[in-house]
Structure 1
């Protein structure tokens, strides 16, 4: 069942996870354009760098050169275009992080459309790691190992028309023409969305964030 919530309520829930003691990992998932990065960023910003850090799954996009070699460039963003084993290994390291250890995670540069290795420092004393991405609840490959590292998982379920509108605008912001943006959002992205939405029942909470 989808629950309507305000972003402030999610900040409170994340704050409670950060206060439990030890390391907590919060996973935020949903279809392309669902608002995952927005919610994750808002939570981390509200809690501050001493309490939370954002480690997006998008850092594990395969590089464009690899996608071209595999014939996958035109479906970038599909489940097979990510390094699932690398992502699972990172979450395992983060969950088992020792005092004083720094774990470096990759980010994703949308201007370059490429992952950037070692660009996020995860400090051992930060209690909450927020990770967000499309396939956190997938059951194939190494995704279940990643899911097992999550303390809690949230699935974002916005209005579909609103999601499409936001996604088309984002593609245009990063250089696609209006026609290409619409084609990508309603084609490749929507194919991925159907797969991702079939995973919603595996989440701890299914949420529609009001005012997002």
Structure 2
């Protein structure tokens, strides 16, 4: 497994170089074997923004399939008593996510695969949101737990051709998280409480999986892509 570490994106891991690396993966695909690129990292590190940037720049050669589409519904979290830990590893359908990735690796002629997405405006997953046509050579998937090696999450890493781990300076990452929760409707005090009690607990779990990545991209303050 390759594991390149970088103190910052430029010069070794600039956005242009990351895009070129993703384009090479897409070029390696065949009609029978699509390539899958995973982008992992703790909450607020910028993985969603990086993934969206790559897919936009690849202009039809890639589709973004977010792990967050496999969040359990709010009603199920209430039933499980896990609403206060939404975003923890056990609040996702990890087995369902792995099954989708396995299906995406082997495209079927004339068959569009529909993946779920997560709507932050309503804080719920939405089924059938992301069409993946069979001719698209690269799927970019991003999420916290792509590198976890426990339970059903352990099925995910072997299905991905590469996984990049995105880092961001801790205080900046926390600030961006709080701002994001507030932007999507949480009062500031509640957003701060949720980030420090839940998101940061999840971040510690994610950080423990860092060494399983092929590439570490570290964004210093001011150089990360805009928050998604």
For 2:145, the equivalent position in structure 1 comes to 135
- Counting matched residue pairs gives 211
Q: Which of 24, 27, 38 matches 1:19?
A: 27
Deviation at 1:2, TM superposition (A): 3.3
Point out where structure 1 has 5 or more consecutive residues left out of the alignment.
none
| SS of equivalent residue, structure 1 residue 77 | coil
TM-score by length of structure 2 reads 0.90
Q: Is the 8 A contact 1:7 1:209 kept in 2?
A: no
Q: Distance in 2 between matches of 1:72 and 1:26?
A: 30
For residues 60-83 of structure 1, give each alpha carbon's deviation from its aligned partner in whole angstroms, at most 9, with x where no partner exists.
000000000000011100000000
For 2:87, the equivalent position in structure 1 comes to 77
2:70 is equivalent to residue 60 of structure 1: yes
| SS of equivalent residue, structure 1 residue 121 | strand
Q: Distance in 2 between matches of 1:34 and 1:130?
A: 17
Cα root mean square deviation, aligned: 1.1
For 1:115, the equivalent position in structure 2 comes to 125
For 1:47, the equivalent position in structure 2 comes to 58
2:210 is equivalent to residue 200 of structure 1: yes
Deviates more, 1:37-46 or 1:6-15: 6-15
Deviates more, 1:118-127 or 1:179-188: 179-188
TM-score by length of structure 1 reads 0.96
Runs of 4+ in 1 over 4 A off after TM superposition: none
Q: Distance in 1 between matches of 2:29 and 2:41?
A: 27
Q: Distance in 2 between matches of 1:36 and 1:176?
A: 22
Structure with the higher strand share, 1 or 2: 1
For 1:2, the equivalent position in structure 2 comes to 5
Q: Distance in 1 between matches of 2:84 and 2:196?
A: 14
For 2:134, the equivalent position in structure 1 comes to 124
Point out where structure 2 has 5 or more consecutive residues left out of the alignment.
none
Deviates more, 1:110-119 or 1:13-22: 13-22
For residues 158-181 of structure 1, give each alpha carbon's deviation from its aligned partner in whole angstroms, at most 9, with x where no partner exists.
111110111110011011111111
Q: Distance in 2 between matches of 1:95 and 1:32?
A: 26
Q: Is the 8 A contact 1:59 1:115 kept in 2?
A: yes
Deviation at 1:187, TM superposition (A): 1.6
